[in-house]
């Protein structure tokens, strides 16, 4: 790891394939929805209560489910869209007065690569793409959507 976890001031999470299993679920009416893990949600709430901001950044085409989940968990920073993830993150960093070294980014696929290379700590689920697994500082044992973020929090940000 390039940064000690105690120096992290912002945790940024990709959504599809990280907080979800990456599946696209579509109802008969054509509505898209996602399945999130409640253990990841508990870990996010715990960090937010401790004053460590958590952010969601997603290239998903279904913003409502991501934004609703962020609201439920007290996630203040949430972006869903097609803009470059680095640009969105740099805006949040400016607002918070922090540098890349103070960011932990967790993602699973090649569209996360640029941000992961710059973050102080990069993490990925066990089933991330081979390129991401090869460059991540932390490769978790659990797959995306299977409480892999909870695993990360329990290992590196335990309850004191």
| 16 annotated as ligand-binding | yes
Output the DSSP codes for 53-69. Answer: -EEEEE--S-HHHHHHH
- Block residue for tokens 């699973």: 108
For 113-148, how does the pLDDT look when each residue is reduced to its tens digit (9 = 90+)?
Answer: 999 999 999 999 999 999 999 999 999 999 999 999
| Domain spans of the chain, in order of start | 5-97+113-156
Does residue 67 carry a pLDDT above 80? Answer: yes
Query: pTM value?
Result: 0.95
Task: Provide the CATH topology of domain 5-97+113-156.
Answer: Rossmann fold (3.40.50)
For 87-109, how does the pLDDT look when each residue is reduced to its tens digit (9 = 90+)?
Answer: 999 999 999 999 999 999 999 99
């Amino acid at each position: 790891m390039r940064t000690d976890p105690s120096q992290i001031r912002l945790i940024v999470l990709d959504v599809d394939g990280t907080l979800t299993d990456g599946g696209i679920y579509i109802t008969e009416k054509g509505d898209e929805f996602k399945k999130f893990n409640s253990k990841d949600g508990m870990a996010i709430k715990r960090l937010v209560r401790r004053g460590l901001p958590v952010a969601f950044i997603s290239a998903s085409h279904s913003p409502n489910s991501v934004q609703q989940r962020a609201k439920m968990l007290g996630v203040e920073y949430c972006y869903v869209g097609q803009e470059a993830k680095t640009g969105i993150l740099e805006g949040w960093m400016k607002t918070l007065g922090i540098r890349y070294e103070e960011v932990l980014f967790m993602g699973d696929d090649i569209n996360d690569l640029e941000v992961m290379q710059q973050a102080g700590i990069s993490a990925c689920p066990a089933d991330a793409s081979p390129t991401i697994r090869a460059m991540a500082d932390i490769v978790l044992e659990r797959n995306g959507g299977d409480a892999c973020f909870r695993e990360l929090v329990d290992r590196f940000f335990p309850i004191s």
